[in-house]
A = this chain, B = another copy of it.
């Protein structure tokens, strides 16, 4: 058992609240949350929080982890040139070994940012899953069916395989996007969703031209088109959701579909600002994601949380828009539920021990008028004191405990990046 004491917990169930309780973990789960009892059991380790605050870990609800290989490779160029001249040709060079190393690199970045789980859509999922398991990190893979896949049926095999593989790995159904996937293949995915009564996800309404193209071709917006074929009949959601009509928002609210916002990526690729307030006010459940490092270029949840709130202010012209509390709940709770990790959504007995300790003894956390606002509006990676996934400390005070020497991962990443550059 590991004991966290002498600090505070930020708990969410029944409304966000700060408590003076302590927290114990046993194996991969939280086994006690409450006041300090008169008699203490023996602990493997006792962590004196020194007043620091424990949160459920941040959940990165949309990403392409191994895209770290393209970080700062091609920036400041038009979107289409970036995608077709830089991203696609270089992705074709990726080997499983590269996906493994660049995933491990991305996981290190997640841990240093307090992220405890990811929802990842990319390629070479065997290598990807191995990198997560070897690091001790939690992930849910999302299939990304599109027209380039040689073998669509592989998704059903992967769905069955990866949902059985390891307690740290899950698998959800999804397509890459409406504009990269034929109607036949979208219908195949909707049938799989029905067969397994499973939620279904996709990149959705990321750019204005994507929505316009879909309406021109089909007379429906992407959410409406997918809904019309039963794609969302068992839930799921969309990544980005920048260009959502009122009808799209109502559809998401009515079906309880998750809208995952990716503010940094949407800025960097000039896609726009997602209507986070409008979605939340309509009752749409929301989560936050970093997207891949090729279009961000960091995997830094503090930057995402900050922008998820303040972009609402500048877009509406109203400094009262957005809000730190709702953003923090999206990051910790929403993200977990969006990807089916309902046992990772709070600090409570029986939940998985996926948590982050925020260091309050740094200048940007003082004074402590309001912890939630300090975290969302002033927090940074320097405040991540410790990240625990499934009961194991994987990151603490700048050091990684991921079963591999970081220097070897950096060296391999550089060698492989050089091979990509050619």
Contact = CB atoms under 8 A, between A and B. Distances in A.
Nearest to A107: B363
A255 interface: no
Interface in A145-200: none
Interface in A99-128: 105-106, 108-109, 112
B381 A381 contact: yes
Nearest to A309: B76
Contacts of A378: 71-72, 293, 296-298, 300
A421 B370 CA distance: 12
A348 to B, nearest CB: 26
Contacts of A270: 313-314, 316-319, 321
Nearest to A70: B369
Interface stretch (A56-64, A224-232, A279-287, A409-417): A409-417
Interface string A379-421: 1111000000000000000100000001101100110110001
B297 A377 contact: yes
Interface string A70-82: 1111011111001
Contacts of A6: none
A307 B306 CA distance: 12
Q: Most chain-B CB neighbours within 10 Å: which of A68, A75, A303, A323?
A: A75
Nearest to A306: B303
Interface of A: 68-73, 75-79, 82, 105-106, 108-109, 112, 264, 266-273, 293, 296-300, 302-303, 306-307, 309-311, 313-314, 316-324, 361-364, 366-370, 373-374, 377-382, 398, 406-407, 409-410, 413-414, 416-417, 421
Given A76-B319, A271-B314, A382-B381, A71 B366 contact: yes
Contacts of A109: 363-364
B267 A421 contact: no
Nearest to A75: B373
A299 B366 CA distance: 12
B364 A300 contact: yes
A324 B380 contact: no
A112 B379 CA distance: 13
Contact of A268 (B267, B298, B313): B313
Given A76-B319, A303-B306, A369-B421, A298 B267 contact: no
